[in-house]
């Protein structure tokens, strides 16, 4: 008798569920895609239940198009960098206060970085500032178009001409002391480029002195000489090495010569014996800079 009663109740329950309304036979589970407020935040697979009313305490999104730089920045970046991209987002602030974390670049103010630098950071397939930093790689999470949209939004709509409050304005770098016979090269202002794409030719076996002036007011740079075709690998190994090594792997076999990592307004030099004849490359190994900041170095017999 108990078995019969159980079967009867189960059958009746199935009939009741079959007569229910909604996407599922009986709407007894709360699902986000039933809420009209969140519809545009879900993949286009299930429509909301007919007649559903959004909750009135959650503002509706401005647009159902989520490929805008503003939205992509808000979703992916603002929790750490803040809605103004000044580096004071709630998650990063919590890490500072509760866990004593100090960002590699402090503060991580994105509004003072050019578009190319932001794109270079977002294109990294590993942690762009080394394994000891907390910023994750975004290359596998964002399309190339989304990366460009974020960088464009930050560098245009969020960028400010004046320095942040309490931070002194950048001053012009002092002129470097001339070195007789030295090759002179500098950064192209705050652009992620050198002021020249090729240095004068040198003869193999001669002593070479390269003087690099970082005239940028906001960026750190270095000058690194490597065999042609190895610059990207050197830069990637430099990311792993981290800022404590000047963004260069100690003892990297592909590094022929380099300056120290120079802050804004600083000047450094690299002294070396010109290698075998051929075309070499120089670059800045700071994460993201090498994508546009490089040139050719020719050695003749």
Nearest by Cα to 104 from 250, 284, 264, 243: 243
Write the CB contacts of 263 (distance below 8 Å, at least 6 apart in sequence). Answer: 214, 220
Token digits of residue 28: 């007894």
pLDDT of residue 233: 93
Measured between alpha carbons, how far is 250 from 30 in angstroms, rounded to an integer? 55
Q: What is the pLDDT of residues 260-272, one digit of tens each?
A: 999 888 999 999 9
Nearest by Cα to 278 from 245, 300, 250: 300
Q: What is the pLDDT of residues 6-50, one digit of tens each?
A: 777 777 776 665 555 444 444 444 444 444 444 444 455 455 567
- Bridge pairing between strands 294-300 and 202-203: parallel
Quote the percentage of the chain above a pLDDT of 70: 74
pLDDT of residue 29: 45
Measured between alpha carbons, how far is 232 from 81 in angstroms, rounded to an integer? 27
Tell me how far CA of residue 298 lies from CA of 2, 101, 180, 183, 291, in angstroms.
93, 44, 20, 13, 20
Report the range out of 30-34, 169-173, 176-180, 243-247 with the highest average pLDDT: 243-247
pLDDT of residue 71: 82
Measured between alpha carbons, how far is 261 from 116 in angstroms, rounded to an integer? 19
How many CA atoms, within 13 angstroms, populate the side-chain half-sphere of residue 80?
Answer: 17
In terms of pLDDT, which residue wins out, 205 or 127? 205
Estimate the crossing angle of helix 144-153 against helix 69-76, to 10 degrees: 90
Q: What is the pLDDT of residues 67-123, one digit of tens each?
A: 688 888 888 888 888 888 888 888 888 888 888 888 777 667 888 777 877 888 888
Decide: pTM greater than 0.85. no
Class of 183-300 in CATH: mainly beta
Class of 69-158 in CATH: mainly alpha
Q: How confident is the model at residue 280 (pLDDT cuts 50, 70, 90)?
A: very high
Q: What is the pLDDT of residues 134-174, one digit of tens each?
A: 888 888 888 888 889 898 888 888 775 434 434 443 444 44
Measured in degrees and rounded to the nearest 5, phi and psi for residue 299 equal -115, 125
Annotated domain spans of the chain: 18-61, 69-158, 183-300
């Amino acid at each position: 008798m108990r078995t019969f009663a159980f079967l009867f109740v189960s059958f009746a329950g199935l009939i009741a569920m079959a007569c229910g309304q909604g996407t599922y036979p009986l709407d007894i589970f709360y699902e986000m895609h039933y809420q009209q407020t969140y519809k545009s935040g879900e993949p286009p697979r299930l429509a909301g239940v007919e007649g559903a009313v959004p909750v009135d305490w959650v503002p509706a999104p401005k647009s159902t198009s989520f490929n805008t730089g503003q939205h992509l920045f808000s979703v992916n970046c603002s929790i750490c960098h803040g809605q103004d991209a000044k580096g004071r987002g709630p998650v990063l602030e919590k890490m500072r206060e509760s866990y004593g974390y100090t960002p590699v670049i402090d503060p991580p103010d994105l509004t003072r970085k050019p578009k190319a630098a932001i794109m270079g950071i977002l294109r990294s397939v590993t942690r762009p500032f080394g394994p000891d930093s907390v910023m994750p790689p975004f290359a596998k999470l964002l399309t190339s178009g989304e990366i460009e949209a974020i960088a464009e939004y930050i560098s245009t709509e969020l960028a400010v001409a004046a320095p942040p409050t309490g931070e002194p304005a950048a001053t012009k770098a002092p002129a470097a002391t001339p070195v007789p016979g030295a090759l002179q090269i500098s950064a192209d202002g705050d652009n992620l480029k050198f002021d020249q794409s090729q240095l004068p030719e040198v003869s193999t076996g001669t002593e070479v002195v390269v003087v690099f002036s970082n005239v940028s007011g906001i960026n750190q740079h270095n000058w690194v000489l490597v065999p042609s075709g190895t610059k990207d690998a050197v830069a990637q190994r430099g990311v792993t090495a981290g800022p404590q090594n000047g963004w260069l792997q100690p003892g990297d076999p592909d590094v022929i010569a380099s300056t120290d990592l120079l802050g804004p307004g600083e000047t450094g030099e690299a002294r070396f014996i010109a290698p075998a004849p051929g075309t070499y490359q120089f670059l800045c190994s700071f994460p993201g800079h090498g994508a546009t900041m490089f040139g050719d170095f020719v050695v003749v017999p």
